[in-house]
Amino acid sequence: MDSPEQPQIYLITPPEIDPQQFPDQLARVLDEAEIACIRLALSSADEDHVARSADALREVAHARDVALVISDHVLLAQRLGLDGVHLSDAARSVRAARKELGADAIVGSFCGVSRHDGMSAGEAGADYVSFGPLGATALGDGAFAEPDLFQWWSEMIEVPVVAEGRLTEDLVRQLASQTDFFGIGQEIWEGEDPLANLQQLVAAMG
């Protein structure tokens, strides 16, 4: 993914989806909002369910010229004709994924709140690095990415950066000049109208 002039939306699926119903919901969002990329981020370890979901979402995304990547499943990304993979282990798998998927695939790396991991992922060939969550949480060790991490990254590093996790309108407003992409997922899917929720966050970009 290329670094844009202003932040673009990197849409993240819910951890559980119905492959029969969710594609229609996704299509509605894609038809009304400008989306740079979609991440299939399922919690399921059922290979058949993940593959069926990926097939259904790929049809919706590719019909609209939107890239679709999958969390961590490098071999499935290759087998199912997806556009790449989003790795959740910081820089550790970037080189192996790049070797497996080739130069044209999207390889992204989630690096939590660590500048060091982000730089290592970039040096290993990641197309983008993501940091988060953005807000305080009781999950994990409670660490969250401070705004100054994005300011420092945008000034010092050329690799595109994604801000994701616990985004609010205030955080979107604050980070709009310091990030290339906003990774938006549960912030919109948990509500009754995902498109309206997304449009509210997009409006906060200014």
The whole-number average pLDDT for the span 116-120 is: 98
For residue 2, the model assigns a pLDDT of 58
pLDDT in tens, 1-42: 655 578 999 999 999 999 999 999 999 999 999 999 999 999
Per-residue tokens: 57:
């979402």
Per-residue DSSP letter, 183: E
Residue 107 pLDDT more than 80?
yes
Domains and their CATH numbers in the chain: 8-203 (3.20.20.70)
The answer to whether the bond into 147 is cis (omega within 30° of 0) is no
